[in-house]
Amino acid sequence: KAGVTQTPRYLIKTRGQQVTLSCSPISGHRSVSWYQQTPGQGLQFLFEYFSETQRNKGNFPGRFSGRQFSNSRSEMNVSTLELGDSALYLCASSSRGPTNTGELFFGEGSRLTVL
């Protein structure tokens, strides 16, 4: 079955703009997590959504937000972009319930460059 799909793969924005990233989880997965990956800070957890509800949130400013739709697709938004927001944003999906294997399945990421 298809893996986790993230769009767009690459994008360039300027400071002050906003950006929306999209993630389609593996079919049947209802949990979606977002991570920011930078060379300096590594992989940092942003938030997790399950059944359209935010379940966990990392230590990021309010400029970072997300949502999940009834079909489990998720979007994250970053407003008022700063240079430091340049990063690879990774989405991961997982199943919950009887089929839960404890594994996160990652997409290939959306690489955001802020100029």
Per-residue tokens: 21? 């990233």
Task: Between 81 and 90, name the residue whose CB sits nearer to another protein.
Answer: 90
CB 92 to another protein: min, Å = 7
Residues that bind another protein (CB under 8 A): 4, 31-33, 35, 42-45, 48, 50, 55-56, 58, 90, 92, 94, 100, 102-109
Q: How far is the CB of 41 from another protein (least distance, A)?
A: 8
Nearer to another protein, 13 or 30 (CB): 30
- Closer Cβ to another protein, 76 or 90, answer by number: 90
